[in-house]
Structure 1
Amino acid sequence: MRRTRKARRGRLAGAVLALVVAGAGFGLYWFQPWKLWQDETVEEALPGTVRTSGTPRAEPSATASPAPGPQTVAGGDLVSHEHATSGTVKLIRLADGSHVVRLENLDTSNGPDLRVWLTDAPVKEGRAGWHVFDDGEHVSLGRLKGNKGSQNYPVPADADLSRYTSLTIWCDRFDVSFGAAELAGA
């Protein structure tokens, strides 16, 4: 009898240990706490602009009309929500008529499953703004490429830009905004 009790305790301890290890593994996967110490910087040039490599450029002739370049349609400054966030957001119309959202000088925390969303929700300061963006309409522009730097996000051609008044860096895993900006007309 003593031996069976010991065997049961051993099996129970093994089962508890297995549950603890599985729970810790799931918690690490779900929260990904290491991302808080990992920064990813992405520096992209604005589409439709030409970077020169130090070679002199020819002067345009007086009769040549300048090629239409990217034009800022709307923009705003990022405010912090769940995490300290700063930078500038610009909605830019390219020469071909397509649009991109450009994040410039972005600085926020890294996190699991971060997305860039155009939304119809108002931007609220502080905790009041953490959870408002999934209540209305939004269009996802994809995963956040990096938590620092300047990046471009193509806007789908069928997106009705008149419906979206703000942008959020949204953590889809925890349904919370890291930061957001009102998009005021340029």
Structure 2
Amino acid sequence: MKIYYLLFIVLISFQSCSSSDTPMMEAEMQMEEDEMMNTSTFEGDFMSSAHPTSGKATINEAKTILSFTNFKTDDGPLLEVYLATDTSASTYITLGALQGVNGNYEYALPTNIDYAVYNHVIVWCVTFSVNFGYSVLK
């Protein structure tokens, strides 16, 4: 009788360690991985191109806002902010007019942007087709 009781305890122990826990652990791991992918921010320091430009560009975790922090550049005619594929703005998305040349600013981002492709933030002079300064997002 004691042997049957012992076998019963052992079987219950093995049953509680069965593979039924594995799908839950895999699901939890996938959720954590997805959260890490969604919470990554992109940022980069501004570098001068045709004009002295400095500061930091940052995209928030929700990928809805591009922020310029401690931003500074020269004034010019018709300056716009571009998300571009390179420093020449070969392919770009305009975020509108530059809000200012000295300070902190925010720009609304369109949805579904691939920041591995559009990884340059450019202050672009539309009038003269000149890159004032840029930041490479990483």
Q: Could you state the TM-score of these two structures normalised by the residue count of structure 2? A: 0.67
For residue 28 of structure 2, what is the aligned residue in structure 1?
Answer: none
Distance in 1 of aligned mates of 2:93 and 2:81: 9
Can you give the 5+ residue segments of structure 1 that lack an aligned partner in the other structure? 1-70, 122-131
Task: Select which of 55, 63, 66 maps to 1:101.
Answer: 66
In the TM superposition, residue 151 of structure 1 has moved relative to its aligned partner by 0.4
Alignment partner, residue 133 of structure 1: 88
The letter for the 1-side match of 2:74 is: S
Runs of 4+ aligned structure 1 residues displaced above 4 Å come to none
Residues 10-65 of structure 1: CA distance to partner in whole angstroms, max 9, x if unpaired?
xxxxxxxxxxxxxxxxxxxxxxxxxxxxxxxxxxxxxxxxxxxxxxxxxxxxxxxx
Deviations 1:141-162 (A, max 9, x none): 1100000100000111243333
**TM-score, normalized by length of structure 1?**
0.50
1:152 maps to a residue whose letter is E
- Contact 1:77 1:182 survives alignment (8 Å): yes
Q: Deviations over 1:82-103 (max 9, x none)?
A: 1111100101133xxx511111
C-alpha distance in 2 between matches for 1:107 and 1:164: 22
AA in 2 matched with 1:87: G
The Cα RMSD (Å) is: 1.6
Kindly indicate which of the two structures has a greater share of residues assigned to strand: 2
Report the Cα distance in structure 2 between the residues aligned to 1:183 and 1:160, rounded to whole angstroms: 11
Paired positions, count: 100
Is 1:102–1:152's contact at 8 Å kept on the other side of the alignment? yes
Q: Cα distance, 1:73 vs. partner? A: 1.0
Report sequence identity in percent.
30
Q: Distance in 1 between matches of 2:115 and 2:44?
A: 15
